Amino acid sequence: MVRVFNRQRRGKELENNMKRILLFALSAAILLCAGCASKAVKTLDTQEVANKLLSAVPFADQMSQIESETALQLYGLDESTVAKSAVYESTGATAEEVAVFEAKDEKTAKKVKEAAQKRIENQREGFKDYQPKEMEKLKSPVLVTSGKYVILCVSDQNSTAQKIIDSYIK
């Protein structure tokens, strides 16, 4: 009788151990699946973001939209890297600029950001002798990459521009 009781007890212990192992395995699988899920990247309307920056950030000069082809040339980009763009620049008296690019993908967004950084460098070179007071704007322009989007705003109001950009990407 004691043997039968011990067999039943061992059987229950084995069954409980199997339940624990199964529960642990399922928990681990759920955690792994949750960790592998990709974050959804917001879809931005490049023109809407640019318009919001133009209306909310005070610019000293008149801002004019430039054609997509011209913008790509200014930034040293080609059509294979950019899906959409909205680029505005001042009349030339100031370094002010707004550029919103949607790259083809996140990998090419890095190239677009590098092109924007090069554009800033070129502007610094151009304005250092022509309009030295504009150098302040070019010291720390707002340049943000989020997913496949690259946003640049050169102005006196970086905090305002940053808040607007954050409202779209976060």
The residues, ordered by sequence, that sit 6+ positions from 153 with a Cβ below 8 Å of its Cβ are 53, 57, 97, 98, 99, 141, 142, 161, 165
Angle between helices 46-56 and 158-169 (to 10 degrees): 150
pLDDT value of residue 15: 66
Low-confidence ranges of the chain (pLDDT < 50): 2, 5, 37-39
b/e code 97-131 from CB counts within 10 Å (16+ = b)? bbbbbbbeeeebbebbbebbeebbeebeeebeeee
Q: How far apart are CA 81 and CA 112, in angstroms?
A: 7
pLDDT value of residue 24: 57
Q: What is the pLDDT of residues 101-144, one digit of tens each?
A: 999 999 999 999 999 999 999 999 999 888 888 999 999 999 99
